[in-house]
Amino acid sequence: MNIAYSTELICFLILSAVIISGSLAVVLLENIVYSAFLLGGVFMAVSGLYLLLNASFVAAAQILVYVGAVNVLILFAIMLVNKKEKLKPIEGLKTRKLISGAICGGLLVLLLRVSITTKWNLPGPSSIGEEATERIGEHLFTDYLLPFELASILLLMAMIGAIVLARRDISMPTNKIDNLKNEKSLIDKKIPLLSENSLK
Amino acid sequence: MNSGIDLEMSFTQGVQNLGLSQELAHLLWIPLPMLLVLIAAVIGVLVTVWLERKISAAAQQRIGPEYAGALGILQPMADGLKLLVKEDIIPARADSLLFTVGPILVLVPVILSWLIVPFGQNLLISNVGIGIFLWIALSSIQPIGLLMSGYSSNNKYSLLGGLRAAAQSISYEIPLALAVLAVVMMSNSLSTVDIVEQQNTAGFLSWNIWRQPVGFIIFWICALAECERLPFDLPEAEEELVAGYQTEYAGMKFALFYLAGYINLVLSALLVSVLYLGGWGFPISIDWFSSLIGISIDNPLVQITAASLGIVMTVLKAYLLVFLAILLRWTTPRVRIDQLLDLGWKFLLPISLVNLLVTASLKLAFPMTFGG
């Protein structure tokens, strides 16, 4: 066992421990803010795994997309609506927890069975390292052009939807606007600093 | 092209001559450049803080620090020492764990990004293939640290500052990445070394700033916004938010924010010089110059001169930009938050998209000048 191999092994063990314990904590912690921050940590550990597999571009993209965009948006949403309220105790919470736990355990057993019974082609193909960036680009614009374009159309739709939701003024009923105008004129009467008369 | 001096080769060979294995020699080599770059970053911050104090004083017709060392050059040291011995306060109702981790998460990605800053042909920690993309990815971790410290302080100003910082950072990252993408497209590589080499074919005439003037301006504006320098220092706007996300911080934790801000500024200036101003390149091509006076480029003397000249050039260009940033900070008013977001989304983003499109079409039309 040489130094490079043992370093890799130690890194792998640490990263997998972080991923497993982190994702368990994301699910099990009561405090939603902690869960969100830990999710970011898990994403970073996953990108560490990609680095170990010599896929540096995927690792950087993982950090950029998942940590820099997805996780920040989740945190943003949590902090903008950070209302501390007592949740009502739900009836039969224990049986619910048991059922969901059993389903997750079953899924784990299924995946373990797949990973054990499959004849993996070991050692896998050698990694292409720095060339990967070019290869990914090539594939995106040849073999995977259709999924790539479809994904971009999906994102565009989501963006337009967000704009429509954010611009509430488009679909505001007219009587509401009139009410608003009345209220505004009341305010203007109270504070006649810059009313139409003063401008004359 | 010359291959430059390979310090790593000579070091590992020297250690191997002492009777150690090649792996061990490599292992001994690894921390050396990291340590060197860390020290360089910290010294860069000290110089920048001194410059900031002196230039702001000049802008306001004061003298500035003058008793600590000649011309007050030791003032940043005194500042650092003061922050080091101050009491470390954690507010009673704050979340002490997140409160501590926040500043660290802000500082670490910035320092990690120094990995890709080249001071010469082989004078960088690691010439990773994804190069400049690594910096963009790492700088996207920072808003999490800011949100964390803003939230955990349990203070409305901190929370607002943290949210503003995250919003600003996300908005300006997109035009920044698009401006970088245009440069990457011209040099056919993400690696910072390749980007610089492609610019140093004909002295200063081949620098990217002539081919990417719009990209240069977009990048500089976005870099200032990412560093939260004054025209865009909304997250810590004193008059509105006390000090934003750093309101509750004191002592060394505050110093971490301070350090991260200045390291990020120096880093951004270095990257502008790498991407647009020819990096370590001298305004006149060294190859041409050495052939003019009739010395071979492989001559050790020429090599050492070229290497030190490269470091001097990189630092000089970066500090000219830092000077510009400081001057901007002390002479321009702050934009409003809605103006800031308008500028980012409605102006810089379309412009950078057009810039990318124009670069792509110019590359197809004139592959000789725009990199084929």
Q: Which residues of chain B have pLDDT under 70?
A: 1-6, 237-239, 297-298, 371-372
Band of pLDDT at residue A2, cut at 50, 70 and 90 = confident
User: Taking CB atoms and an 8 Å cutoff, what residues of chain B touch A57?
Assistant: 129-130, 133
When pLDDT is averaged across residues A167-171 and rounded to a whole number, the result is: 62
User: Taking CB atoms and an 8 Å cutoff, what residues of chain B touch A76?
Assistant: 147, 163, 166-167
CB pair distance less than 8 Å for B144 and A37: yes
Q: Could you give the CA distance from residue A52 to residue A46 in angstroms, rounded to a whole number?
A: 10
Tens of pLDDT along B218-277? 999 999 888 887 777 777 766 677 777 888 888 888 888 888 889 999 999 999 988 888
As a residue count, chain A comes to 200
The pLDDT value given to residue A1: 58
CB pairs under 8 A between A and B: 76
Task: Report the predicted TM-score, pTM, of the whole model to 2 decimal places.
Answer: 0.82
Out of A76, A131, A133, whose CB is closest to B166?
A: A76
Phi, psi of B204 (to 5 degrees): -75, -15
Chain CA centroid to CA B256, Å: 16
In this complex, is the C-beta atom of A25 within 8 Å of any C-beta atom belonging to chain B?
no
Contacts of B225 (CB under 8 A, 6+ apart): B168, B171, B172, B232, B340, B344
Looking at residue A194, the DSSP 8-state letter turns out to be S
- ipTM rounded to 2 decimals: 0.81
Classified as helix, coil or strand, A123 is coil
What distance, in Å, lies between the first and last C-alpha atoms of chain A?
Answer: 90
CB pair distance less than 8 Å for A3 and B24: yes
Give the residue on B whose Cα is nearest the Cα of A62. Answer: B137
Out of B23, B137, B173, whose CB is closest to A2?
A: B23
- Is residue A36 over pLDDT 60? yes
The pLDDT value given to residue A174: 58
CB pair distance less than 8 Å for B162 and A4: no
The pLDDT value given to residue A167: 74
User: Taking CB atoms and an 8 Å cutoff, what residues of chain B touch A80?
Assistant: 163
User: Taking CB atoms and an 8 Å cutoff, what residues of chain A touch B128?
Assistant: 56, 130
Average pLDDT, chain A: 80
The pLDDT value given to residue B1: 34
Contacts of B83 (CB under 8 A, 6+ apart): B251, B252, B254, B255, B258
Residue B174 C-alpha, separation from nearest chain A C-alpha, in angstroms = 11
In this complex, is the C-beta atom of A192 within 8 Å of any C-beta atom belonging to chain B?
no
Give the residue on A whose Cα is nearest the Cα of B152. Answer: A33
Q: B204 pairs with which residues across the strands?
A: B202
Structure tokens at A68: 């820099």
Band of pLDDT at residue A183, cut at 50, 70 and 90 = low
